[in-house]
């Protein structure tokens, strides 16, 4: 019996970009259909490199391989965590696992129980970080790790982590050239010749740059009736300039609120990011025309895209006392006031202390981006992209999320990422090679959703009111305290909308998983 027959693919989700090179290196038949080809690559890569195989694959991947001869299970998650992987040890000592939580829930031996303490973390971050999930016992395999299950015992090993080593020897133009040539290499791998691919497009530089260097014939954007919040006009200008077709998904408040239960069910864990709902509608609309779509995720975190990064030097060493990632919705005293059960010793900052220990000695911007790459990207951005695209039957490929692209970003000095006038300076300079300056250097808008207004509108917020006044809410929150947040928001404090939305998203998710099912 051949050695390869002793390795069984138990689970695989992903897309291996450098499959052509790997087929040559590993002796895999490059003419196999995609799924069979990638599974053959995984088996051959495991046999050659073992636990280090993740360092040889580019793309997005999560898999479980079973070695029948050694009676050993090997589970792997890609370096950035673009694809999720979960596992659960049963009371009788078996390991349940999958790339979705629902796969685990359907198996014998799973006991569904809410991990309520994470609600505290979620109310600050709008998502969860670390190994634990909202289901007791269900753990995430974290990015850049592999798990070995052998003899009834799980061992997790880290094979990759973000490291930063600024190189002062190059000019801004040198960096821009390296970014551009590397992205062109990645784009050459990101689709096969026989695949049809479209692209998501906002008004921002990341998606515009990806579209410009791709051969996608059509761009897809989301828009709103309120022109002040509608980026799709800018996106259409970019698509026209690049000679691509343009498709606009108009998001109405009715459609937005109507799809929230679908979003929270398919997300599998609560996510209080209001843009996730708009993204879900965008995926559903785009999936009508294509199975594969490009998107620009990763660039903000790698290259210094968020406006708050301009404060990095001012924060300095204080970062490790408060910075837990891109969102910070509720302070501890607010959570203590609204939660029926609050633990003052369970703080979000504790969950990122290991990251600050790792990056001791780095400049403040590198520390902030390191936290966001390991926490925010994995916990919010990639979770949303994976879950919402999968639910819609769409595969989203993110060319800028690539270890080769990050390798450049990790060497670029912070002054070429963020300065007083601009963010993502080096990336924008690269993008200006294929885009007009006004697009390449357009101010970051963020993914705007008019939910700030819609939530206050009696025509649309009926379900929010229902859940805030429900027995579900009363299990976790002091009803008067959350009603006060909502009333204050309705009364004109529009900054409260995020708090209202974050609470509401959790309540919808809980109803989906613990009341309806």
Pick the range with the lowest mean pLDDT from 63-67, 229-233, 274-278, 386-390.
229-233
Mean pLDDT rounded to a whole number for the chain: 95
Check residue 494 and give its pLDDT: 84
Mean pLDDT along residues 76-100: 98
- Confidence class for position 517, pLDDT limits 50, 70, 90: confident
Check residue 227 and give its pLDDT: 73
Are the C-beta atoms of 361 and 163 separated by less than 8 Å? Answer: no
350-399 pLDDT, tens digit per residue, is 999 999 999 999 999 999 999 999 999 999 999 999 999 999 999 999 99
Q: Which two tokens stand for residue 408?
A: 């450049």
Q: At residue 140, does pLDDT exceed 90?
A: yes
Phi, psi of 158 (to 5 degrees): -95, 125
Distance between CA atoms of residues 412 and 409, nearest Å: 5
- Confidence class for position 5, pLDDT limits 50, 70, 90: low
Mean pLDDT along residues 289-300: 97
Q: What is the largest CA-CA distance in the chain?
A: 73
Q: Write the CB contacts of 430 (distance below 8 Å, at least 6 apart in sequence).
A: 175, 176, 177, 179, 180, 183, 209
- Confidence class for position 445, pLDDT limits 50, 70, 90: low
Residue with tokens 């921002």: 204
193-229 pLDDT, tens digit per residue, is 999 999 999 989 999 999 999 999 999 999 998 877 7
Q: Which fold has domain 172-303+385-440?
A: Rossmann fold (3.40.50)
101-129 pLDDT, tens digit per residue, is 999 999 999 999 999 999 999 999 999 99
Check residue 1 and give its pLDDT: 32
Check residue 509 and give its pLDDT: 98
Question: Does 172-303+385-440 match 3-158 at the fold level?
Answer: no
Distance between CA atoms of residues 77 and 13, nearest Å: 10
Check residue 230 and give its pLDDT: 78
Q: At residue 442, does pLDDT exceed 90?
A: no
Distance between CA atoms of residues 293 and 80, nearest Å: 19
Q: At residue 3, does pLDDT exceed 60?
A: no
Are the C-beta atoms of 206 and 300 separated by less than 8 Å? Answer: yes
Instruction: Return the domain boundaries, the chain.
Output: 3-158, 172-303+385-440, 452-515
Residue with tokens 């300065």: 419
- Confidence class for position 477, pLDDT limits 50, 70, 90: very high
Distance between CA atoms of residues 286 and 275, nearest Å: 16
Distance between CA atoms of residues 297 and 305, nearest Å: 11
Cα dihedral value 231, 251, 256, 210, nearest 10: -50
CB atoms within 10 A of CB 262: 18
**C-alpha closest to that of 51 among 75, 69, 28:** 75
Does domain 3-158 bear CATH number 3.60.20.10?
Answer: yes
222-250 pLDDT, tens digit per residue, is 999 887 777 788 999 999 999 999 999 99
**C-alpha closest to that of 180 among 430, 437, 440, 441:** 430
Distance between CA atoms of residues 56 and 221, nearest Å: 34
- Confidence class for position 7, pLDDT limits 50, 70, 90: very high
Pick the range with the lowest mean pLDDT from 111-115, 299-303, 490-494.
490-494
Distance between CA atoms of residues 193 and 213, nearest Å: 15
Q: At residue 330, does pLDDT exceed 90?
A: yes
């Amino acid at each position: 019996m051949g050695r390869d027959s002793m390795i069984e693919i138990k689970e695989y989700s992903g897309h291996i970009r450098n499959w052509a090179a790997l087929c040559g290196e590993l002796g895999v038949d490059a003419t196999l259909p995609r799924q069979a080809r990638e599974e053959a690559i995984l088996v051959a890569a495991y046999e050659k490199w073992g636990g280090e195989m993740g360092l040889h694959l580019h793309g997005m991947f999560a898999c479980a391989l079973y070695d029948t001869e050694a009676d050993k299970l090997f589970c792997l998650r890609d370096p950035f965590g673009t694809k999720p992987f979960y596992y659960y040890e049963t009371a009788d000592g078996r390991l349940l696992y999958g790339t979705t939580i629902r796969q685990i829930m359907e198996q014998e031996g799973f006991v569904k129980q809410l991990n309520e303490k994470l609600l505290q973390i979620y109310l600050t971050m709008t998502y969860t970080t670390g190994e634990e999930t909202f289901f007791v016992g269900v753990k995430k395999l974290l990015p850049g790790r592999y798990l070995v299950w052998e003899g009834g015992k799980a061992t997790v090993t880290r094979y990759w982590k973000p490291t930063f080593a600024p190189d002062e020897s190059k000019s801004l133009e040198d960096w821009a050239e390296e970014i551009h040539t590397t992205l062109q290499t990645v784009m050459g791998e990101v689709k096969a010749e026989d695949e049809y691919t479209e692209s998501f497009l906002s008004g921002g530089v990341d998606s515009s740059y990806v579209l410009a260097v791709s051969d996608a014939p059509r761009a897809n954007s989301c828009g709103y009736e309120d022109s002040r919040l509608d980026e799709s006009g800018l996106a259409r200008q970019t698509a026209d300039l690049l000679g691509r077709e343009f498709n606009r998904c108009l998001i109405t408040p009715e459609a937005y609120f109507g799809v929230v239960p679908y979003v929270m069910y398919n997300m599998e864990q609560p996510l209080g990011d209001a843009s996730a709902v708009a993204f879900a509608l965008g995926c559903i609309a785009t999936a009508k025309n294509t199975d594969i779509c490009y998107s620009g995720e990763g660039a903000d975190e790698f290259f210094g895209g968020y406006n708050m990064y301009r404060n990095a030097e001012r924060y300095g060493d204080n970062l490790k006392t408060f910075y837990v990632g891109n969102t910070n919705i509720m302070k501890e005293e607010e959570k203590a006031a609204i939660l029926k059960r609050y633990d003052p010793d369970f703080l979000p900052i504790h969950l990122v202390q290991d990251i600050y220990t790792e990056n001791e000695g780095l400049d403040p911007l590198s520390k902030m981006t390191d936290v966001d790459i390991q926490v925010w990207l994995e916990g919010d951005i990639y979770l949303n992209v994976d879950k919402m695209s999968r639910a819609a039957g769409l595969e989203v490929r993110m060319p800028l999320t690539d270890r080769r692209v990050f390798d450049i970003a990790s060497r670029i000095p912070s002054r070429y990422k963020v300065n007083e006038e601009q963010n993502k300076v080096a990336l924008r300079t690269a993008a200006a090679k294929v885009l007009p300056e006004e697009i390449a250097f357009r101010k970051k808008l963020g993914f705007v959703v008019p939910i700030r207004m819609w939530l206050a509108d009696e025509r649309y917020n009926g379900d929010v009111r229902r859940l805030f006044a429900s027995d579900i809410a009363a299990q976790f929150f002091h009803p008067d305290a959350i009603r006060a947040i909502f009333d204050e928001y309705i009364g004109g404090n529009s900054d409260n909308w995020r708090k209202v939305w974050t609470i509401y998203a959790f309540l919808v998710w809980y109803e989906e998983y613990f009341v309806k099912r």
